[in-house]
């Protein structure tokens, strides 16, 4: 059974980032391991751990936590958190023999999400074997989405039930509305941003709800990015373009965003 490790900066990110993608993998026979990189504020840990367990129970995913749960709040040492998470996540991925990692992208706008994404990026870059990373967006759009995952009615209902388990966070803000509206917009935006502006709906004509991701991997000290596609059988990876070829206009937005990310970290204490 193939394994995918989803790395969640906070409880509820498994229900907001790419739940339809994770449920689609589950239905294809993949073992889905959700790793909680953080549990929010220390005072909320027990509540959020219980809510997360309930959400994962709805989905049928396996639960793990970062052994040290390094702080991911703005006032925490985010550089240290990134180093700790890189080491701990590498151990988890190796123990499960995972071939796919899913998590936020490095420019997602939230300091905790970006810290986790940078740990994933280092993990993928230093992996002894090719490891594929699917990045999802929540607070900031992906620089270059390459993968469109349609959300079926069953997955929409399941992911809504998953999010419902996070009662404390839903009381604080209307995340249900975010979950619904974001996917509806992706069904339209995905045709243009994944396949190129001016593209026709084609095979996506019946899609009314979707998730958008960017597919990358690293091999022999080069980054590769997946070709534009809709979700199909994982394990048969899409042909990959060499991300180091900057003459390709289609690849520039992603590479430029990563360079901006490096520059931002140099300017931000603890970033």
Query: In sequence order, what DSSP letters do the residues of 38-96 get, joined into one string?
Result: --SSGGGHHHHHHHHHHHHHHHT-EEEE-SS----STTS-HHHHHHHHHHHHHHHHHHH
**Mean pLDDT value of segment 197-225:** 86
CATH code that applies to domain 3-267: 3.40.50.10320
Q: What is the dihedral of CA 185, 142, 85, 7, to 10 degrees?
A: 30
User: In terms of Cα–Cα distance, which of 46, 55, 126 is closest to 94?
Assistant: 126
CA angle 184, 187, 192 (to 5 degrees): 135
* Backbone torsions φ then ψ of 73, nearest 5 degrees: -80, 165
- 104-124: per-residue pLDDT in tens? 999 999 999 999 999 999 999
Reported pTM: 0.88
Q: What is the pLDDT of residue 36?
A: 97
Q: What is the pLDDT of residue 258?
A: 58
pLDDT of 260 above 80: no
User: What proportion of the chain, given as a percentage, has pLDDT over 70?
Assistant: 86
User: Cα separation of 101 and 172, whole Å?
Assistant: 29
Asked if 212 contacts 137 with a C-beta cutoff of 8 angstroms, the reply is yes
- 240-258: per-residue pLDDT in tens? 655 443 334 444 555 566 5
pLDDT of 176 above 60: yes
Higher pLDDT, 59 or 1: 59
End-to-end CA distance of the chain: 37
Average pLDDT of the chain, as a whole number: 88
């Amino acid at each position: 059974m193939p394994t995918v490790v989803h790395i969640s900066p906070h409880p509820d990110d498994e229900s907001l980032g790419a739940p339809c993608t994770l449920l689609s993998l589950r239905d294809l026979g993949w073992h889905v391991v959700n790793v909680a990189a953080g549990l929010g504020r220390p005072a909320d840990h027990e509540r959020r751990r219980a809510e997360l367990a309930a959400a994962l129970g709805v989905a049928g995913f396996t639960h793990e936590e970062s052994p040290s749960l390094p702080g991911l709040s703005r006032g925490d040492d985010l550089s240290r958190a990134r180093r700790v998470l890189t080491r701990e996540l590498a151990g988890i991925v190796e123990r499960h023999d995972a071939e796919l990692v899913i998590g936020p992208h490095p420019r997602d706008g939230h300091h905790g999400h970006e810290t986790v994404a940078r740990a994933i990026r280092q993990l993928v870059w230093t992996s002894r074997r090719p490891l594929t990373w699917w990045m999802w967006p929540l607070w900031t759009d992906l620089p270059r989405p390459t993968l469109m995952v349609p959300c079926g009615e069953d997955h929409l209902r399941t992911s809504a039930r998953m999010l419902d388990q996070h009662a404390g966070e839903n009381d604080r803000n209307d995340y249900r509305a975010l979950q619904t509206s974001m996917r509806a917009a992706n069904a339209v935006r995905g045709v243009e941003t994944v396949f190129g502006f001016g593209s026709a709906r084609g095979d996506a004509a019946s899609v009314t709800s979707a998730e958008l991701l960017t597919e990358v991997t690293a091999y022999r000290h080069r980054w590769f990015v997946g070709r534009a596609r809709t979700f199909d059988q994982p394990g048969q990876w899409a042909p990959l373009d060499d991300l180091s070829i900057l003459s390709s206009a289609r690849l520039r937005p992603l590479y430029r965003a990563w360079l901006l990310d490096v520059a931002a970290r140099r300017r931000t204490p603890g970033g």
